[in-house]
Amino acid sequence: MEASSNPQFSKLPPISAKLFEAKKAKKLSFEQIGKHIGRSEVWVAALFYGQAKPTETDIHKLSVVLDCPESYLNHDVGSDYFPDRGGLMSVPPTDPTLYRFYEILQVYGYPLKAIIHEKFGDGIMSAIDFTMDVAKIENPAGDRVKITMDGKFLPFKKW
């Protein structure tokens, strides 16, 4: 199981191990869980990795799809839970799958900032009012990963 067989998962909250175990026992993908609870698979994975907070409804639906007592989830990720985000990976990440995203930022970071400034002005793309999706584009020359990020533009306030 992912959560227990990789040492860095010791950085995850205890609930994560239980969620991953339930997912494995039910043989469900993140996409399938997402469809059951009406959320994106990326957000569901973020929840499993301790990076998102579910609503009461999310908890109820999760308890159904994972066949896991609602009280149990409420205790660990209920209303008084707040994720302490980030910090799972070393910097720079050593895993090649993660590193490539870091490299993209190293190589295309300033070009990206310049384009955002030309299109929007002085500000940022929010990482809070933000969604991300991953699609598989089949291609005979090799399938392609297509990642879409969508964040609100926030202009710097002057005062």
Check 2, 103, 118, 144 and give the catalytic one: 103
Q: Is 100 noted as a catalytic residue in this protein?
A: yes
Check 29, 85, 90, 100 and give the catalytic one: 100
Rounded Cα gap, residues 84 and 52, in angstroms: 9
Q: Is 103 noted as a catalytic residue in this protein?
A: yes
Q: Is 39 noted as a catalytic residue in this protein?
A: no
Footprint of a copy of itself on 59-118 (CB under 8 A): 75-77, 80-118
Are 52 and 16 contacting, i.e. CB atoms less than 8 angstroms apart?
A: no
Footprint of a copy of itself on 35-64 (CB under 8 A): 39-43, 45-46, 48-53, 55, 58
Q: Beta-carbon neighbour count of residue 95 at 10 Å?
A: 12
Would you count residue 156 as binding a copy of itself (CB under 8 A)?
yes
Check 21, 126, 138, 144 and give the catalytic one: 126
Q: Beta-carbon neighbour count of residue 100 at 10 Å?
A: 11
Are 40 and 148 contacting, i.e. CB atoms less than 8 angstroms apart?
A: no
Residue (of 12, 74, 89, 40) closest to 20 by Cα position: 12
Instruction: Report the residue from 19, 30, 68, 73 that binds a copy of itself according to the rule CB under 8 A.
Output: 30
Instruction: Report the residue from 17, 21, 31, 72 that binds a copy of itself according to the rule CB under 8 A.
Output: 31
Letters for 134-153 (x = contact with a copy of itself by CB under 8 A, - = none) are x-xx-x-xxxxxxxxxxxxx
Could you tell me the smallest distance in angstroms from the CB atom of residue 18 to a copy of itself? 11
Rounded Cα gap, residues 133 and 107, in angstroms: 22
Token pair belonging to 25: 């026992």
Catalytic residue IDs: 100, 103, 126
